[in-house]
Each structure stands twice: as structure tokens, then as C-alpha cells.
Amino acid sequence: MMKLWMAPLGLHIEPAEPIDAETLAELHARGFYRGWPREEFAAYIAAPDTPIYVACDAKRRIAGFAMLRLVADAAELITIAVDPKWRKKGVGLALMRALFEDLRMTPARQLFLEVAADNPAALKLYAKLGFAKVSERQGYYARADGLPATALVMARVLG
């Protein structure tokens, strides 16, 4: 059965396909200080334990994506990124809700993630979705100014 979820602004969410690797690498590079090469995305798209969800329009132009890693009865949000011109429009929330729904089909009962303490957009998104802080990793993320940022580990029970 084709997996498909609705998103705002006429977008929908569906699983990533091999052809998306280049676009995902570009989008990721726009959202993070450290990018991932296209080859890594191609490998993740092909692997069953790292599902990737893309938010796209009818022509399959991608506005954002999220990637999970499934490990036994837990899941980890590896990354989420929305194209700067599509931000603050509910795309990130829609991606997260789609993956919550999809996780109901897996044994995963908890979703973990790591977020930089200096990332207010992501912190707002996760707080809205009921994530709570589990622990902290000081000096975890490299930053352009040389001052590393603290990582917060957050988790949410899956319903």
C-alpha cells in the first residue's frame, strides 16, 4: 500500500525515493553547519532501518524531509530539515506527525532525538509535540565560531 500523509499548503508527505538523494543532501546542507554527502543519503534511502519522509508538492518538489533510525523498540529522529522558504508554515510539524503515525506500524514505543540548545526553532517544534529532556551533552556540536553548542537529548513516548 502506498504511504501518504497530508501536509499544509497543498503539500503531502511520502517515503523518499532513490532519486531524492541529491535534493536531500542540498536541503540538509542549508539547514546544518555540517552537511552529509549525496552518497550517504542514497544509502539511507535504500536501508529499511532508516526511513526518510519527504514533504513535497504535486510535482514532487521537496520542501522538507525527516529521517528516522529504528532500533528494536526505540526510534531515533536522525534529522529533520525544511527548506528556508517553506519554514514556519507547519511543514516540520506535519513531517513529525506523519512519522508518529508510521511508527505505529513498528515495535518502537519511544522516539529519541538530539537537538542543539541554541536552536530555538527545533526546540519549539519538539516542545509542541510533547518531547521532554532526558539528558545533556555539553560541547557536542561544532559551530562556525569555534564555540561548540550543547546537545539536549529528548524523548517522547509513542502512543
Ligand X SMILES: CC(C)(COP(=O)(O)OP(=O)(O)OC[C@H]1O[C@@H](n2cnc3c(N)ncnc32)[C@H](O)[C@@H]1OP(=O)(O)O)[C@@H](O)C(=O)NCCC(=O)NCCS
The verdict on 90 binding ligand X (CB under 6 A) reads yes
Active site residue 53: no
Pick the closer one to ligand X by CB: 45 or 116.
116
Residue 98 near residue 53 (C-beta atoms within 8 A): yes
Q: How far apart are alpha carbons 116 and 95 in whole angstroms? A: 19
Residue nearest to ligand X (CB): 92
The verdict on 75 binding ligand X (CB under 6 A) reads no
Pick the closer one to ligand X by CB: 70 or 117.
117
Among candidate residues 114, 102, 55, the one with its CA nearest the CA of residue 81: 55
Active site residue 114: yes
Sites for ligand X among residues 104-133 (CB under 6 A) = 115, 119-122, 124-125, 128
Q: Which uninterrupted H or E stretch holds 128?
A: helix 120-128
Query: Which residues in this chain contact ligand X in the complex, by CB under 6 A?
Result: 31-32, 80-82, 87-93, 115, 119-122, 124-125, 128
What residues are annotated to the active site? 114, 126
